[in-house]
Structure 1
Amino acid sequence: MEARMKMVKSVQPFLIALACLMMAAVSYAAPVLQPPEEEVKKITTELLDTFNKNKEQYKKNPDGFFKEVDRLLSPVVAFDQVGRYVMGKYAHRNPDQVVKFESEFKDSLIRFYGKALLSLDDTSLIIDSVDKTSPELLKKYQEGKTSRIPVKMKIRTSNSTVEIFYSMVHVDGRWKLRNVTIEGINIAKQFQSQFADAVDRHKKVPYVVENWTAIMSSSTDKGSKK
């Protein structure tokens, strides 16, 4: 009996330590995610503040604004996921082309988003509202039952409000932008359509990937002349 008591006492610290490790492992495996709207609001607020302080300069020199959009959005955009979506069925044919397209595509996404903001109003732009993510939706995301979380935001101009939907994913330890819909215009879907049209015209996916910027520039020029 005495020997058994000694064995229990000697094993007890080990069992306690093991239990603590198991609890820590469970905690690590299922971290509690903060809702994505705070990240969206933070980035958008900084972006709009930058625009409002320099709007006259940016209207004359949009490239300056695009650089600020790039600086603020690049760390929080899942360009790899967006790029694969834009390439559609062609993304599965050559992984190297997907990687190359990500860098080519990044500039067009930044410019499209920047131009959309520049076209909203000549006066001050402010955030009117940001919808909160429900605990139920956040839980579904953590359980893998939904792949993205939408964040609805309204931006107020001098005479109207503009609806923007951000599609968010949690990767690399933070929330990142997967897509943007501005006043019903789905940016990723629009680019996907343009990529497919370009492949139909040029017949070669590598050509479209390598010349994406020039193709998009040509498309913009044609659209502006109509």
Structure 2
Amino acid sequence: MKFRMQLSALLWVLALALGANAQQGVAQADAGVTAHEVVEATTSSVMAVVSEAKEYAEEDPERYYQSIQEILDPVVDFRGFARGVMGPYATSERYRSLDADGQAQLRSQLDRFTEVMRRGMVRTYGKGLLAFGGSRIQVSSPSLDEAEASRVSVEQLIYSDAVEPYVVMYQMGRDRSGEWKLRNMIIESVNLGEIYQSQFESAARKQKGDLDTVIDTWSAPEVDS
């Protein structure tokens, strides 16, 4: 149970960091870099940070969080991710249905929730990463037609003390410049994107649509089996 929670922590940070080792813009697509290669290279990069942090994270946690943040900031669309978690409360259709004041309020709420998600993920899940310094992580081989695809799923196996590895599926898609970006992730049949959105919608109903209160009291859900 504890391992499963730590696993979800590791995977969210690795997933959000996808693309960190391929920051050459369009060059990623031009060079024929596959989604599988992006996942594999970035996994190695992030885990190298984690390995080094074991020596100082307890005494200087902000240094560790900053190191993780430097990987995430250039490549993560935190605003787009936050909008997805807000689900029907932040759709284009809802935005267009609001008057000028309502639209301004929604933009402000999305800005605040983006920062809440950004800070919360780095700190909450950064802690879980420290438990995985020695884990063996294997990425499956890409299919022959991946170079021409706009969306693919990347399978990743994480080996621990368990008999069978944990299976993770990264659902990847290309952005307008051709770079591979994370769209969603499934851990052992648990769809994390749906879990986050479900929590937000449940909290919004409980607060009778008061999104400001939902954002102010938001905490990331824990994934367990």
Q: TM-score range by the shorter chain?
A: 0.5 to 0.7
CA distance in 2, matches of 1:176, 1:136: 18
Task: Please give the secondary structure, in 1, of the residue aligned with 2:54.
Answer: helix
Partner of 2:52: 53
Partner of 1:151: 154
Is 1:164 matched up with 2:163? no
- Percent of pairs with identical residues: 28
Q: 1:100 to 1:158 in 2, by over 3 A?
A: same
Task: Please give the secondary structure, in 1, of the residue aligned with 2:33.
Answer: coil
Aligned length: 180
**RMSD of the TM alignment (CA)?**
3.4
CA contact (8 A) 1:168 1:179 kept: yes
Task: Please give the secondary structure, in 1, of the residue aligned with 2:44.
Answer: helix
Residue 105 of structure 1 aligns with an amino acid whose one-letter code is M
Unaligned runs of 5+ in 2: 1-28, 96-105
Is 1:103 matched up with 2:115? yes
Name whichever of 46-55 and 76-85 sits farther off. 76-85
CA contact (8 A) 1:76 1:175 kept: no
Is 1:124 matched up with 2:128? no
Name whichever of 46-55 and 148-157 sits farther off. 148-157
CA displacement at 1:100 relative to structure 2: 4.2
Task: Please give the secondary structure, in 2, of the residue aligned with 1:215.
Answer: coil
CA contact (8 A) 2:173 2:180 kept: yes
- Structure richer in helix, relative to its length: 1
Task: Please give the secondary structure, in 2, of the residue aligned with 1:181.
Answer: strand
Partner of 2:145: 136
CA contact (8 A) 1:35 1:138 kept: yes
Task: Please give the secondary structure, in 2, of the residue aligned with 1:207.
Answer: helix
Structure 1-normalised TM-score?
0.62
Task: Please give the secondary structure, in 2, of the residue aligned with 1:150.
Answer: strand
CA distance in 2, matches of 1:130, 1:31: 22
1:172-208 Cα offsets, whole Å, 9 max, x none, are: 5322222333444433222111111110121234314
Partner of 1:73: 72
Residue 162 of structure 1 aligns with an amino acid whose one-letter code is Y
Task: Please give the secondary structure, in 2, of the residue aligned with 1:46.
Answer: helix
Structure 2-normalised TM-score?
0.63
Q: Which has the larger radius of gyration?
A: 1
CA displacement at 1:215 relative to structure 2: 2.5
Task: Please give the secondary structure, in 2, of the residue aligned with 1:155.
Answer: strand
- Residue of 178, 181, 202 corresponding to 1:197: 202
CA distance in 1, matches of 2:56, 2:167: 25
Partner of 1:20: none
CA displacement at 1:72 relative to structure 2: 1.6
CA displacement at 1:63 relative to structure 2: 5.3
Q: 1:196 to 1:158 in 2, by over 3 A?
A: same
CA contact (8 A) 2:82 2:117 kept: yes
CA displacement at 1:44 relative to structure 2: 0.9
